[in-house]
Copies of this chain bind each other. A is one copy, B any other.
């Protein structure tokens, strides 16, 4: 929906820049995207990009997003009641990654994270703090922070292994097969009885 052609500063311009940045970070990665390329794509003066976002890092941190808004994901994940959370989270994760735009947004975040600390911070913030922590807190186990973080390992790992490294049996697996394998893992991280009461790291 980005309007091409030069536009003046003001209402809508910041959002047009953000849309274009999201698209370019997803398609070209962090390194392949520049303030100038975003400005050109959005039809604005590069100075406006700087004005609104301060730097390329700022542009990334403020525009990168999960394929769906965390609030919407939360609503869907809890729609079947608390017992269905792991099943719905697994199904949602697999289907978002099978959607081209969703896959591009998420793998773009991961690609950027390996070279840019700001992108790594964005993943921590969006995936863990805004999405997985609220899920773990609402399910109600102890150490929701650790549970959310371990869920993140599985989500990040599936995206990396299937969509970036491209391990053939994962690429070939059906959505149903992946969900069947993943649900017990997310359930284990969410509710399993593995939290150590006297973790040496806490001492």
Contacts and interface: CB of A to CB of B under 8 A. Distances in A.
Interface of A: 29, 110-111, 113-115, 120, 123-124, 128, 143, 145-146, 148-150, 152-158, 160-162, 164-170, 172-174, 176-177, 180-181, 184-185, 188-189, 192, 194-196, 199-201
Given A157-B154, A173-B146, A173-B201, A164 B196 contact: no
A145 B169 contact: yes
Contacts of A185: 154, 185, 188
Contact of A157 (B115, B158, B174): B158
Contacts of A170: 146, 149-150, 153
A31 to B, nearest CB: 8
Contacts of A161: 149, 152-153, 156-157
Say how many copies of this protein the assembly contains: 2
A141 to B, nearest CB: 12
Contacts of A158: 153, 157
Contacts of A192: 181, 184
A17 to B, nearest CB: 26
A9 to B, nearest CB: 35
A168 B3 CA distance: 40
A142 B45 CA distance: 59
A110 B146 CA distance: 23
A124 B167 contact: yes
A154 B199 CA distance: 22
Most B CB atoms within 10 A — which of A128, A161, A184, A192?
A161
A110 B160 contact: yes
Given A174-B201, A176-B196, A176-B200, A153 B162 contact: yes
Given A149-B161, A166-B124, A200 B174 contact: yes
A29 to B, nearest CB: 8
Contacts of A181: 146, 150, 188-189, 192, 194
